[in-house]
Chains A and B, each alone.
Chain A
């Protein structure tokens, strides 16, 4: 079994498990305070180098990360973090953090590492086996910056049957972030952390959008085209397979009153996706066509306006019970009376609801009730994939640090 540490430029060094654990143990004794200036500087510099690279900026997901990690944005993040500390407390890192990013949604790895690094932890990240060129470049910059700064963080790789490595690394770690769905969560659940440390789980999630039919009718051409562009970003980033990618769009209103506006919108989303260069392979177009016709065949009343193209839509005049998930540009539209019709449908595995045109009061009322059942993000259309330190119900910086009481306010009788 080969356990390897990434050196940059596609090169790895093979290491023994004992050596690796010793290096991480040494790193664990050299933690930093949360938002230490030199760590902000290192991440900010990484962001600046990414933003200076045209090929990187052309990739929306990486451009988003680079933008998110600008030095100014990190200072804002630090300020917000500091502002939420209770009086008489300070924050401290947890220690050694191990990251298991998802195999394919590549930028998650970068966010996961940055947040924990800024929290002051020493980090070990298991590299995804497949990495696109943009992410490879970002990782190389990251490794180079760490080496320059004399950092202890390591990016490693080991074969998929390396349960023993996962067990040993978990036993050494104070905090573990497991991304990649229910199956992956189960695979790590039984592996204990050092002193019963903290696990942060990211299981399977389902996400959807709600659009006001009335707002669609009232929107002018420019507003519709902007809405279509944002929907295309939400739907086509990561082939619609991110945890927060919407698979369904609920429209308040009725087919009779709003069907035409919805059809025009969905066709505009298809065009926007084409302009963005969403490259859907033909075999997946066949999958989408098959799934669309299977849905239509089983339930009368469906409409499938197109059988090819970037976006295939199945429109139902009513609310249904199923969680359709095809991906790669496949949307089920269902008409509902108003957003409260969804209240009974929200489940704990539902993550992101994106919205357009809903009145503020209606939305906040819905959020209060719905959040009792599920949903961890309720954000405008266009922001489905906008990763943030608040994610999936976690305030990640809070989870990645310890809160230390300094001074005492209690009174003993």
Chain B
């Protein structure tokens, strides 16, 4: 099923046609992980019961994304690498087990998503990050995985930041001058693109008329700086002349199943991926237009039971199948993370605090 959907042109499968295909593929994956991952089997038997078939995608069992921080869940006998979420300091990182097959599926998935906006040719790539994030490919952070993924679309990557995340201005200027007059690709986490690239050249400007900027993540920091997506786009366009800017939504537990920003400002999933919005309190599925927790289902993950994951991100399905702009499937907006809470307690966390 994944094969079929990934090889069709991206974003071309209408929601109604997609649903039965996903249901069948997700059911197979649920059985596959049940057979291959003992912990997943235990969980299904404890919380969901075991079933031969499911009536709706909404009935497919899901795991909370945070579970991958609490335990390693593997459905493969031949892991080749473990992906790690960047994880805020003090928090445990997710550990995602990837084997050769799933790694290849992730690559094909990424290609299918980015081909429509980047074209078939490999473009010169400027990474707004440090080379350090990719130096140990066996223990990758989400940022490193993102960079490695994008490097497959670029010819010879140039890294714009030094290991301390300071911008090496000379590198950037040289890169832009060398590639002026032809399309090139800039990739980075949203807050790094904003804080490092935009802020450094805000006053004197930079000719990025031929640039395609792909960015993602770090919206928590953007929110703190009060820079909404629209401002980000307008400023990059206004100061540097950037015409092509693509935000995407993805997380390490669903690498390769990313939602890409379209001209209508919404994020669309690839053909083999779908989204369910659930009520944060009852966890019941919500109809289109209502805000809730995002559950991402994907036919991609085979080496770990991540084909149905409940995130702590809040979002909303704004529209389904935007034919006129050639984007089929659900168009979502991501609204931020469920606010964290702290329980009280007899035991004081900071011993000296009152």
Show the binding face of A for B, using Cβ within 8 Å: 100, 102-105, 108, 126-129, 157-158, 160-163, 166, 179-184, 186-187, 202, 204-205, 238-243, 281-287, 289-294, 296-300, 302-304, 307-308, 314, 327-328
A158 to B32 CA separation, bound complex (whole angstroms): 58
B:302-354 near A, CB below 8 Å: 310, 312, 338-341, 343-354
A242 to B346 CA separation, bound complex (whole angstroms): 5
A243 to B39 CA separation, bound complex (whole angstroms): 32
In the bound complex, residues from chain A placing their C-beta under 8 Å from that of B195 are: none
A126 to B71 CA separation, bound complex (whole angstroms): 41
In the bound complex, residues from chain B placing their C-beta under 8 Å from that of A296 are: 42-43, 46-47
- B47 and A307 contacting across the interface, CB-CB below 8 Å: yes
In the bound complex, residues from chain B placing their C-beta under 8 Å from that of A100 are: 354
- B42 and A297 contacting across the interface, CB-CB below 8 Å: yes
Q: Which listed residue (B312, B348, B352) contacts A286, Cβ 8 A?
A: B312
- B71 and A294 contacting across the interface, CB-CB below 8 Å: yes
In the bound complex, residues from chain B placing their C-beta under 8 Å from that of A294 are: 67, 70-71
B80 at the interface (CB under 8 A from A): no
**Contacts A/B (CB < 8 Å), 21 sampled:** A102-B346, A103-B348, A104-B344, A104-B345, A160-B350, A179-B346, A180-B348, A181-B351, A183-B351, A184-B348, A204-B347, A240-B343, A241-B343, A281-B341, A286-B64, A290-B70, A292-B47, A294-B70, A297-B40, A299-B42, A327-B345
- A304 and B341 contacting across the interface, CB-CB below 8 Å: no
- How near does chain B come to A244, taking the closest CB pair, in angstroms? 8
Q: Given the known A-B contacts A129-B354, A292-B47, A298-B39, are A285 and B344 also in contact in the complex, defined by CB atoms under 8 Å?
A: no
Q: Given the known A-B contacts A157-B354, A297-B42, are A102 and B347 also in contact in the complex, defined by CB atoms under 8 Å?
A: yes
- How near does chain A come to B352, taking the closest CB pair, in angstroms? 5
Q: Which listed residue (A105, A202, A287, A298) contacts B344, Cβ 8 A?
A: A105
Closest 9 CB pairs of A and B: A181-B347, A104-B344, A241-B345, A183-B351, A296-B46, A297-B39, A282-B280, A180-B348, A281-B341
Q: Which listed residue (B63, B282, B346) contacts A180, Cβ 8 A?
A: B346
In the bound complex, residues from chain B placing their C-beta under 8 Å from that of A240 are: 343
Task: Mark interface residues in B36-79 (1 if CB within 8 Å of A CB, else 0).
Answer: 00111011011100000000000000011011001101000000
In the bound complex, residues from chain A placing their C-beta under 8 Å from that of B353 are: 103, 129, 160
- Beyond the given pairs A103-B354, A285-B280, A291-B70, 12 more chain A to chain B contacts, judged by CB atoms under 8 angstroms and listed by A's residue number, are A102-B347, A103-B344, A127-B354, A166-B352, A181-B347, A183-B349, A242-B345, A281-B341, A283-B339, A296-B43, A297-B42, A300-B38
Of all chain A residues, the one with the shortest Cβ separation from B47 is: A304
A267 to B332 CA separation, bound complex (whole angstroms): 36
Of all chain A residues, the one with the shortest Cβ separation from B282 is: A308
A202 to B347 CA separation, bound complex (whole angstroms): 9
B117 at the interface (CB under 8 A from A): no
Of all chain B residues, the one with the shortest Cβ separation from A308 is: B283
- B343 and A284 contacting across the interface, CB-CB below 8 Å: yes
- A183 and B348 contacting across the interface, CB-CB below 8 Å: yes
- How near does chain A come to B299, taking the closest CB pair, in angstroms? 22
A202 to B351 CA separation, bound complex (whole angstroms): 13
In the bound complex, residues from chain B placing their C-beta under 8 Å from that of A243 are: 346-347
- How near does chain B come to A94, taking the closest CB pair, in angstroms? 23
A202 to B47 CA separation, bound complex (whole angstroms): 38
Of all chain B residues, the one with the shortest Cβ separation from A101 is: B354
A318 to B46 CA separation, bound complex (whole angstroms): 15
- B64 and A290 contacting across the interface, CB-CB below 8 Å: yes
- How near does chain A come to B215, taking the closest CB pair, in angstroms? 27
Q: Which listed residue (B293, B310, B345) contacts A105, Cβ 8 A?
A: B345
- How near does chain A come to B304, taking the closest CB pair, in angstroms? 13
In the bound complex, residues from chain A placing their C-beta under 8 Å from that of B339 are: 281, 283
In the bound complex, residues from chain B placing their C-beta under 8 Å from that of A184 are: 347-348, 351-352
- B67 and A160 contacting across the interface, CB-CB below 8 Å: no
In the bound complex, residues from chain B placing their C-beta under 8 Å from that of A204 are: 346-347
B225 at the interface (CB under 8 A from A): no
In the bound complex, residues from chain B placing their C-beta under 8 Å from that of A297 are: 39-40, 42-43, 67, 71, 73
- B348 and A205 contacting across the interface, CB-CB below 8 Å: no
B281 at the interface (CB under 8 A from A): yes
A163 to B353 CA separation, bound complex (whole angstroms): 10
- A163 and B352 contacting across the interface, CB-CB below 8 Å: yes
Q: Given the known A-B contacts A127-B354, A296-B47, A297-B73, are A286 and B344 also in contact in the complex, defined by CB atoms under 8 Å?
A: no
- How near does chain A come to B43, taking the closest CB pair, in angstroms? 5
- B63 and A293 contacting across the interface, CB-CB below 8 Å: yes
In the bound complex, residues from chain A placing their C-beta under 8 Å from that of B354 are: 100, 103, 126-129, 157-158, 160
